[in-house]
Structure 1
């Protein structure tokens, strides 16, 4: 729904009609917004001049002249997304229609701090744009033909950065992250201003994964569990990302686990879910039990061996995670619970989440609850980041300001 401050026949509202597929011609716009054909034409011309739309082909006639078809200019630029982990990053490019153009996963150390990491991200995005245009059909032919500079990359219009810590989205600041040394209070958009002149958004990684999963498989009320080296949760309510008052909604990493009050957490408290059931916590416990384990990937490899001691640890971690999730499921009543992150590949962990939820939740809350693995997989975060930036660029208020 449009905010009350946005006129339904404004350029921003018209662009939303075209993006959503509700309108494909000037006559469609006139009919849906209840304005004259001349007013609809003015709105369309403004959006074409701004580079948002173009007209192509011919639509189906309704008894008169065949209308030209309005389409989004998906080739007018690209947006980028970076999903940062503790020791690696996934980066991706999307066209303005949300189509994935390129992606890669690279080693990276979040402990290098915001300045160095953001500079690295911007550099990698630039390299990806150059590599993508070099792969485009006709690029080699243009170079052979003697074009001095060759084909140029589509302009970068925005960058979203996902981080494994709490984010005050409105302020653009990272707030008291437990696994991001040097990032507390980091104003990511401000730091990025010296690196790039495009809008930069920062968001918690689990929130972006929830958005990415929603884009891959829309569900009106969705909870996304990110269970990797850390534990996080993203919430989609009535088709919209729910952040709460400042951005802390869904952050279950420091929810207390009742029977684990002797386990210290990096936040300074004890018995937090992250300290008990995350991939990092399991890696520590497995190492203490004599297993040769390297990171969360090694944890998942051990889970596949079904060794009795490790299997018990995975079951306990799954049960602890589900104890916290049960409160969310009973309170929020989602229709879909998506399990993502590397631990979602550990069967003992997942099996105990399922069984404990059915045991602890109200029958009505789980009767039709779909519990499924992530469809977007490791790209969920960058897909969500691309989606978030496109919604920012095409926000009706922003478009109206550009058109005024």
Structure 2
């Protein structure tokens, strides 16, 4: 199943419509019975019946009145935030960010834990499940648990709920992650690539600022490099689910540097936070993490600034043909390196230099608005879309 904003259009009146209504309300496309009838092409009487069933179940509540267009003022509808919750986690190589979220996808409580994915799937998932269970214990105000979502730092096969040949997750290849978590918590589970989750979160976070944006690209530049594509408001996955993976694109500036994928000259070997740490240590700087690289750059260290600017230039050079081909409305930059102005400026200038003027004329290029919560917000939206998906 494709994860994203559910499609809109006409539906057969004999088909189940409660899930379709929930889906529209959750995506905030509608807020009245009249809007629902218009969006789904259903008779007002059918909509009223289904909405009343949802109100009786506690999933939907009436909240105030809208503007009249001739006749009675419509009653506004919204998802009942306290009718349930989901648990989500965004996994990195050595840590994970967890959250308990309401049914509108807003984090109610978040936590960071140490987690070593190199320990293997069973050990790492046991640690993760125990921490998620602790978050779940404090969720009495949000109703019952309805789903679990995981954002993972590797190529994700969303159709089978597993990772496929991840270079940084030894032992995880084809491990049934989704089924393992679903069995542990007895609720549906969604797994998603972390860059795709960030792309979905960022696309929706900019809805008010860019209301007409349908296509966007999110480039993640943290300890590793990632990229997610949103087309018509949905994650674009490609034939095997690996669309947008620019991590291992070969770039001339990388020369013959060995990469974790087994190839040489990949973008990640010069543009990722991990690569910058190695390079700066070779330059004599005492840095041990991407965060320390960022700090050195903010302190105007000339060597760190030059390295970070070159990394941004390489990322922009690699993104340019993607932007030319996709012609997105926006390019968002996420990850730790995206908070450093020399990096962002280098990416932006390279895109303007390497893309056709028609492509960049109306292109929005900006930093992430969701910050460190991008992954959990995106995978939270993914599991909610799955729970509320039309039948």
Q: TM-score category by the smaller chain?
A: 0.7 to 0.9
Match of 1:195 among 164, 172, 184: 184
Q: Secondary structure at the match of 1:368?
A: coil
- Whether the 8 Å contact between 2:85 and 2:147 is mirrored in structure 1 is yes
Deviation at 1:375, TM superposition (A): 0.5
- Matched with 2:202 is 213
Alpha-carbon distance in 2 for matches of 1:85, 1:235: 20
1:326 aligns with 2:320: yes
Deviation at 1:29, TM superposition (A): 5.0
Match of 1:184 among 162, 173, 177: 173
1:76 aligns with 2:83: yes
What stretches of structure 2 of length at least 5 have no aligned partner? Answer: 1-5, 208-212
Q: Deviations over 1:47-94 (max 9, x none)?
A: 345543345666777887776554323211001210001111111121
Alpha-carbon distance in 2 for matches of 1:215, 1:63: 33
Alpha-carbon distance in 2 for matches of 1:363, 1:68: 47
Match of 1:166 among 147, 152, 155: 155
Aligned-residue RMSD, C-alpha:
2.6
Is 335-344 or 352-361 further displaced after alignment?
A: 352-361
Deviation at 1:235, TM superposition (A): 1.0
Q: Secondary structure at the match of 2:246?
A: coil
Q: Deviations over 1:325-353 (max 9, x none)?
A: 11111111112111111111233322221
Query: Given the superposition, is the C-alpha separation of residues 50 and 276 from structure 1 closer, same or farther in structure 2, using an over 3 Å criterion?
Result: same
- Matched with 2:93 is 86
Q: Deviations over 1:233-259 (max 9, x none)?
A: 011112211111221111110011124
Alpha-carbon distance in 2 for matches of 1:289, 1:74: 52
- Matched with 1:312 is 306
- The higher radius of gyration belongs to 1
Alpha-carbon distance in 2 for matches of 1:106, 1:22: 37
Is 262-271 or 67-76 further displaced after alignment?
A: 67-76
Alpha-carbon distance in 2 for matches of 1:282, 1:45: 57
Q: Deviations over 1:7-28 (max 9, x none)?
A: 3673333334544353524x66
1:383 aligns with 2:383: no
Q: Tell me how many residue pairs correspond in the alignment.
A: 378
Q: Secondary structure at the match of 2:369?
A: coil
Q: Secondary structure at the match of 1:396?
A: coil
Q: Secondary structure at the match of 1:313?
A: helix
Q: Deviations over 1:152-182 (max 9, x none)?
A: x621111110111111111111011111122
TM-score for the superposition, normalised by structure 1: 0.85
- Matched with 2:210 is none
Q: Secondary structure at the match of 2:217?
A: strand
1:300 aligns with 2:294: yes
Match of 1:357 among 351, 358, 370: 351
Q: Secondary structure at the match of 1:195?
A: helix
- Whether the 8 Å contact between 2:9 and 2:41 is mirrored in structure 1 is no
- Matched with 1:285 is 279
Match of 1:107 among 114, 117, 120: 114
Query: Given the superposition, is the C-alpha separation of residues 312 and 93 from structure 1 closer, same or farther in structure 2, using an over 3 Å criterion?
Result: same
Q: Secondary structure at the match of 2:240?
A: coil
Alpha-carbon distance in 2 for matches of 1:16, 1:93: 20
- Whether the 8 Å contact between 2:101 and 2:107 is mirrored in structure 1 is yes
- Whether the 8 Å contact between 1:91 and 1:125 is mirrored in structure 2 is yes
Alpha-carbon distance in 2 for matches of 1:63, 1:356: 53
Alpha-carbon distance in 1 for matches of 2:330, 2:112: 28
Matches within 5 A, 1:5-404: 6-7=11-12, 10-19=17-26, 20=28, 22-25=30-33, 38-48=45-55, 50-55=57-62, 69-133=76-140, 154-218=143-207, 219-397=213-391
Q: Secondary structure at the match of 2:93?
A: coil
Q: Secondary structure at the match of 2:184?
A: coil
Alpha-carbon distance in 2 for matches of 1:63, 1:303: 60
Is 327-336 or 64-73 further displaced after alignment?
A: 64-73
- Whether the 8 Å contact between 1:119 and 1:195 is mirrored in structure 2 is no
Alpha-carbon distance in 2 for matches of 1:29, 1:308: 57
